[in-house]
Structures are given as C-alpha cells and as structure tokens.
A and B are shown apart, each in its own frame.
Chain A
Amino acid sequence: MTQALIRKEKLAELVTFLASRQKVVGPVPLSNGQFKFAEVSSLAEMALDYIPTILPPKKYFMPQHETLLKYDVAKGQQMEAVVEVEELTLFGVHTCDLAGIQCLNVVFSDRPKDLHYMIRKNHITLIGLECSDYCDSYANCGMLRNHLPKGGYDLFFSELEDCYMVDISTHKGESLVEESGLFEPVVFEVEKQLQTLRKAKKKIFKSEVPIRYQDIPRLFDETFDSDVWKRLGEKCLSCGNCTNVCPTCYCFDILDEPELDLSKGRRIRVWDSCQHENFAKIAGNESFREERFDRKRHRFNRKFRYPMLRYKRIFCTGCGRCSRTCMAKIDLKETINALMEERG
C-alpha cells in the first residue's frame, strides 16, 4: 500500500491517457439532474461531483443480458460455455458503489463459484473517488460506514486543495501510476490535508438512523411480524425498480434466445427481481411470497439480516438509490425508523 498525488490540472491528461489504453467509463450528467455510468474519452464529459448514478456499476460486472452458453441442437444438445469480457476502466466510483461491488464479489466467489462473473471482473480496473459530503438526503452511507474507503479498488482518489491524494492498492494501479508519468510523490502538506478532510467528514457523516451497525440485523429479526411490512405492502407497486438500481441485488433469471433457424441460440442470464409476483412461483403456480408485503420484507431482510448470516456483511451500501427511485416513495431510512419505533 502506497500513495501518490496528482495535480488537479493533470487530471484531464490522466483520463485521456486511460482512454488511450482501453475503454473508460465514468459518471456522465443527464439533462434531468441525474447521472449514469457511460463511456467517456475525456474528463470534460464527466461530472465528478455526481450523486449516485441511476444504475450502479453493477451493470459492468453483471450485465443485464449476458451469454452463458452458445448452443446448437442440430445434432443433439451441443453447447459451449462462454464469458463475455471487455477491458474496462471504471473511473470515479464512489465508496458506496465500491462496497456494492465487494458484496457481488463475495456472492459470486462463494462456492460453487460463478466463473462468468469471476473472469469478467478481472478485466475491469477500478478507480475510486472519495465523497467529501452527502450527495443528497436519501443517502444512508454513514449508518453503514461506507462514506470511507474500505478497499476494493485499484486506485482511490481523494480531492484536496489543488491535487488529489491517490491511494495505490494493487499492482495494476501502480502500473497505471508509473506508465502515465503524471503522478508525484506525496508531500507532508498533502497528507495533512487528507487528515483534515477525514476529520471534517467525521462531523458530516453520522448514522442517519439512530442505530448501531452491529444492531441492525437484530432489528430485522425482531420486527419480522411488524405491521410496518403490511403498510409497505400496501404502498409497494412490485415494479422491481428498487432491485434494478440496487448495487447489491444480484437475482437473475436464465432464458434461451434461439436464433431464427431455431437450431442455434444462446442461453442468457438476465436481471430478475424478488419483488415480482411470479419470482418465487413453482410448478403448479404456488407462490411462496404471494403478498407484496412478504416480498418487500424479504428484500429488506436480504439487505440487512440474511447476508449477515451467510456472508458476514450487510448488503446495503447506503447509496440511497432504492429510496430515490421508488415510485411509491418507500424510503429506506423511514422504514428503519418505523421498525425501531414499533419495536420500542
């Protein structure tokens, strides 16, 4: 682990350098005040003071459509397993989204491993970017301690007065720093500025809901039969927006896409949502989570309780996307507050 710094006036040059090597993806502003991760070739196309993009960078690790197998049934059930990869640099990823990618890594590297994911992720270079303040009032990163970097990047940029402090976390990151020739050694003054930034953040980022991190799973265990879920169920539209925009929702469906000759085709993986009515249906049409409240409760528990048992971490990053995007205005912080209030 080592650090370097880059002057702000050299950042544009760095992006141009990165784009000359491979595809670069960064936060791009849309006309309506929203942002998306999209391909860029220069710094000017990006907005580094962005709030969470509509879709998280999950879409590069686990694409909405992904070919798993190519098949041909002309002579029996013939197939070849494939993985679709692209050399990619993700630039300007916030700490909440880095945490989301770490959650996905845990799921897909758990046995039985998902080779399709594991191979693809190693073709992606991750360059993180520190937030100095809340992006908006939906965020709850403080509660989950995701306002600070917790690894999961090759390089990590913290904006200071006239430069960025860069944490170099991997050999891949170190090579970029060396090859670009744009970085300088860290000086004491800059180190002090970073300490000041972190100190200021300590005052800004507080747990948005009055609960300690380690007490969150128990809250969900103790409120499983709460009326809060019934009320959410009445509001929820089962649209699946919350799962699509969630950086740690990884549920999927597997479908066959035949070509026009019906002999060849692809078996593909597509995003799915546990909020949809038919998600837990079995043959004969029995559904094990028939009611909306049941599905909503399942999703919350899958963020705050179940993964703690299985993966020893909470699967909410605090990005606030689910609350920001919900058409029925179901708010994550309000929900946790209501659960706490009801439990007493």
Chain B
Amino acid sequence: METIAITHSGYEIKRGRIAEITELTEQEKLYRIVLPNDETLDHDPGQFVEVSLFGVGEAPISICSSPTRRDSFELCVRKAGRFTEALHQLKAGDEVGIRGPFGVGFPVVPLEGNDVLLIAGGLGIAPLRSLINFIIDNRRDFGKVDILLGARDSESMLFGGELAYWDKRIDLNFCCSVDQAAPDWQGNVGLLTGLIPGVTLDPLKTIAVACGPPVMYRYVVDELLKKGIPETHIYLSLERHMKCGLGKCGHCQIHDVYCCQDGPVFNYRWVKKIKGAI
C-alpha cells in the first residue's frame, strides 16, 4: 500500500484562528474566527461549516454572522456533546479546522424586494442571525421586516444586546416571547407560534423563513398558512447530522436529498411532500 499526498481533497481543513470568544449563556459561546491571510469565508446566510479539532473530530456548525462582515465569521456553539465540550475548552488564539461553507442557505434572492417574516426558536436564532444582519446591512433592498423570536426563558435568550438593538431600530419589527417568564420579565409569555397571528402582513408579498428545533416547524407552518402565506413562500432550515458535508456519507440524507448539499434550507412545498422531513 502506497500513500500519496494530494491537494484539493474535500476533507482538507483551513486553519481558523479564534480571534475572540464571548460567553453568551452557560451553555453557548460565540466564536469569532479568522482564516489564514485574512481570507474571506465567502458564505451565504444560512450555510454551515465543518469545524474540526484533530484528535477529537468534526461537527457541522451553522455560521451566525453575515457575509457582509468579511474580515471574520462567527459560530455560536452550544455545549451538547463530546466535540462541542472540547470546543468550549478552547481559548482565544487557539486554532480550529474549518471546511466549507457548505449547503444552500436562506433564499436571499427571492427575499429581495419582498416583505420578510423571520421566525427563530431557541438556538435557531444563531443561523437566522446571519440573515438578519445581512438584511440590516442591505436594508433598503428588502420590504417590511418582522422578526419573531422564541426562547425557553430570558436566561437562555442569545445575543441579548443585539436583540435590544433590533428592537430599537425603526426599520425592523422585533417581537419575542418566552415559554417561562421570570418575575422581572416584561415581554410576551407563551409559545413562539402565538406571536404569528398578531403580525400585520400582506401574505402574497411576504416570504417567511423559520429556523428552530424540528418540533417547532409543524406549528409554525400551520400558523403561517392560516395567515394566507402561500406554501412556496415558506422556507425552513432542517437539522440533520451533516457529517461529511459533501453529499456522500449518508448521515444527513432525507429521502433522495442530502441535507448538507441540497439544504439545510428547503422550501416548504418540497418539505411537505417528504414524509419524516419535519
């Protein structure tokens, strides 16, 4: 057996340097990462990268910064298993391996010129933040923008400072709700889906994008359809284990599509036809 060195393997990593780590909650940290020679990641909102630590492994993490901010990119990582625990041990200045970006992200082109309804549940705010900040940085290209956010409680709400900023901006309608309210909570209480009926929108001019735990989608879609939004105007970001990112390993396969290459963002018209997709 002979071992030949090759270049352009899909498995080669780029050496990303962690420029900054921000602790968002006890469970989630935000990593700002810089590529060698200040190379731009050049991603679309909603795409993901494979993050790797040699000796530990590799995991798909969605990019939570907008591609308009080109000097670095950000990943929000929840401590959920062996790999993410190892990531949480790292310090600023340490390196991680980066492959990607991969997949089809949020539908930026169809969104342009239309009203936008963005819905995030729990950790779903992380990928959706890439789109929200992309829209903010190109604000005049989009119509009315509504952001609905749901979290378990106020402690688990991510990007607190930024949420306040979105709330303050006159060109964004921001609304959030918590499942369980602390005594000092002054906002909405209840499921995220409860916020949808209150949104004023022109259903034929609105495109809805939702990102959150799989269990959330059916309820969210029901509410959106009740508002008269056509199925083709609804996009969902699906969560699967995207192991290789290259449409080969089979872990993320949903029927005949690979979530890592054909998704993770899909139009509801397709999702509806596929049993087990949500």
Contact = CB atoms under 8 A, between A and B. Distances in A.
Interface of A: 67-69, 71-73, 76-86, 107-108, 110, 112-116, 119, 224-225, 250-256, 258, 262, 265, 267, 272, 274, 279-284, 286, 288-289, 294, 298, 301-302, 305-307, 309-310
Contacts of A115: 6, 8-10
B58 interface: yes
Contacts of B57: 254-256
Given A69-B12, A79-B12, A265-B54, A274 B276 contact: no
A251 B241 contact: no
Given A82-B5, A113-B10, 9 more contacts: A67-B3, A68-B9, A68-B11, A79-B13, A256-B54, A280-B251, A283-B84, A288-B276, A310-B257
B72 to A, nearest CB: 17
Contacts of B246: 112, 114
Interface in B208-263: 214, 239-241, 243-244, 246-257, 261
B112 interface: no
Contacts of B58: 254, 267
A45 to B, nearest CB: 21
Contact of B249 (A116, A262, A272): A272
B275 interface: yes
Contacts of B276: 288-289, 294
Given A110-B247, A284-B80, A69 B11 contact: yes
A283 B78 contact: yes
A266 to B, nearest CB: 9
A288 B9 CA distance: 29
The list of the 8 closest CB pairs from A to B, nearest first, reads: A251-B250, A81-B9, A306-B256, A71-B54, A283-B80, A309-B256, A76-B95, A68-B11
Contacts of A82: 3-6
Contacts of A116: 6, 9, 11
Given A253-B249, A256-B54, A83 B240 contact: no
Nearest to A63: B1
B96 interface: yes
B7 interface: yes
Interface residues of B, number: 50
B243 A254 contact: yes
A77 B6 contact: no
B54 A250 contact: no
Contacts of B243: 253-254
B248 A272 contact: no
B52 A77 contact: yes
Interface of B: 1-13, 15, 52-59, 78, 80-81, 84, 95-97, 214, 239-241, 243-244, 246-257, 261, 275-276
A252 B248 contact: yes
B255 A306 contact: yes
B96 to A, nearest CB: 7
Given A224-B275, A281-B241, A114 B54 contact: no
Nearest to B50: A254
A271 to B, nearest CB: 11
B241 A114 contact: no
Nearest to B276: A288
B247 A112 contact: yes
A81 B80 contact: no
Contact of A73 (B1, B8, B54): B54
A262 B251 contact: no
A251 B95 contact: no
B239 to A, nearest CB: 6
B256 A119 contact: no
Contact of A252 (B4, B6, B239, B249): B249
B156 to A, nearest CB: 14
Nearest to A72: B54
A272 B5 CA distance: 25
A298 to B, nearest CB: 8
A71 B15 CA distance: 12
Given A76-B15, A294-B276, A83 B10 contact: no
Contact of A85 (B4, B52, B249): B4
B9 A279 contact: no
B202 to A, nearest CB: 35
A35 B7 CA distance: 38
Contacts of B80: 283-284
B240 A288 contact: yes
A38 to B, nearest CB: 15
A276 to B, nearest CB: 11
Nearest to A81: B9
A78 B243 CA distance: 21
Contacts of A79: 12-13, 54, 97
Given A77-B15, A112-B246, A85 B2 contact: yes
Contacts of B10: 112-115
Contact of A279 (B12, B56, B251, B256): B251
Nearest to A67: B3
A282 to B, nearest CB: 5
Nearest to A82: B3
Given A253-B249, A272-B250, A77 B13 contact: yes
Most chain B Cβ neighbours within 10 Å, of A78, A79, A86, A294: A79
